[in-house]
Amino acid sequence: KLEVETLIIIVGFRTDEATKFPLYRSHQGMAALLWGFGGASLKATHASDGEKRHRDDKVWRAILRSDHHNITLDWRQTDMENARKSLRDKIKELSSSPENFSTKPNTEDCMKLSDQTMLEHDFDVDPELQSMCTRFLQNLSEIEISRLQTHERLDLAGLPFPPSALTSLVCLRLCSDDLLHEAALDLLVRPSLRDLDLSNQKLTSPRAEELLCQRGLTRLTALRLRRNCLAQLPPLAAAGLCRLVELDLSENQLTVLPPNLLQLYPALETLNLESNRIAVPALDFRDCGLSTLFLGLNPLEYLPTLAPLTRLTALSL
């Protein structure tokens, strides 16, 4: 090894120059120099089996928020037992704050939490801790899920918590593209939601209709469907989604909009239709409360009068 180091120095530098660069007189410096001479293969040779294994793992992150505390959980889909244990340990650390567990768990949700398909390794968990976990999950108001190290989708068996326990969930954000398998997404889209972000999920119009119009999402006030594959707007109003305040349909494939769109959603304040294929937005702006309207990056040929939009504060054409 010493001969190799000396050889590299002689070839790369004159002796008097090498003394000016103390970096190359250390083992770390030699490693850095070797990478420039095709050392990537050498680096791979010395990689441990554990490092290789971790590079191949599917790593996910969930941020779980209640009214009082947040939990950030990173887990590997190849080690779900440890993922569930980590979640239990994090919840146990919060046990000193009684506000996290102010709601008593009902019997039905406790039974669902012990479902074999979700927590098959948890039958030996202390009943008090199990009850504590149930109450914490029931009190969760917001979940963000993202992938850290994988290009695959997360399936139902890869979730470290049972969606059936999320009885108070009001906000769901999927922060990576094409994130969940259909079965997992179906169970996370719950009737209690008020804020739903399904951007970048490769949703087609039929899939979006199935997901949004058959779940009883009547409390929803914010819906983000940016960058999907929607060719037409799902019949959200007919499914009872009439409370929408924010609707983001940007970066889809929409060509036509229902003229009475704003009448179908009378509470709508923010409408984002940017980057679609809309040529003639035949929208009736009368008697609507829009404050934000984004129509930019469309092949617009005609624009209806904006005079009725007396509350408008942001506009993109």
Could you say which DSSP state residue 280 is in? Answer: -
By percentage, how much of the chain surpasses pLDDT 90?
65
Q: Is the pLDDT of residue 52 over 80?
A: no
Q: Is the pLDDT of residue 291 over 70?
A: yes
Q: What is the pLDDT of residue 202?
A: 97
Structure tokens at 79: 């080690």
Kindly indicate the confidence band of residue 33, based on its pLDDT and cuts at 50, 70 and 90: very low
Average pLDDT of the segment spanning 246-260: 96
Q: How far apart are CA 182 and CA 188, in angstroms?
A: 10
For residue 37, the SS3 value is: coil
Higher confidence at residue 94 or residue 228?
Answer: 228
Q: What is the pLDDT of residue 48?
A: 52
What are the residues whose beta carbons fall under 8 Å from the beta carbon of 165, sequence distance 6 or more? 109, 112, 113, 134, 137, 138
Closest Cα to residue 142, out of 63, 211, 224, 87? 63
Q: Are 275 and 294 a contacting pair, CB within 8 Å? A: no
Average pLDDT of the segment spanning 145-160: 95
Q: How far apart are CA 70 and CA 207, in angstroms?
A: 32
The listed range with the strongest mean pLDDT (10-14, 120-124, 187-191) is 187-191
Q: What is the pLDDT of residue 221?
A: 98
Q: How far apart are CA 65 and CA 221, in angstroms?
A: 19
Q: What is the pLDDT of residue 195?
A: 98
Q: What is the pLDDT of residue 43?
A: 43
Average pLDDT of the chain is 82
Q: Is the pLDDT of residue 74 over 60?
A: yes
Q: Are 110 and 134 a contacting pair, CB within 8 Å? A: yes
Q: What is the pLDDT of residue 25?
A: 39
Average pLDDT of the segment spanning 35-41: 43
Handedness of CA 217, 144, 152, 85 (dihedral sign): negative
Give, in order, the Cα–Cα distances in Å from 30 to each of 23, 24, 48, 138, 308.
8, 5, 20, 55, 71
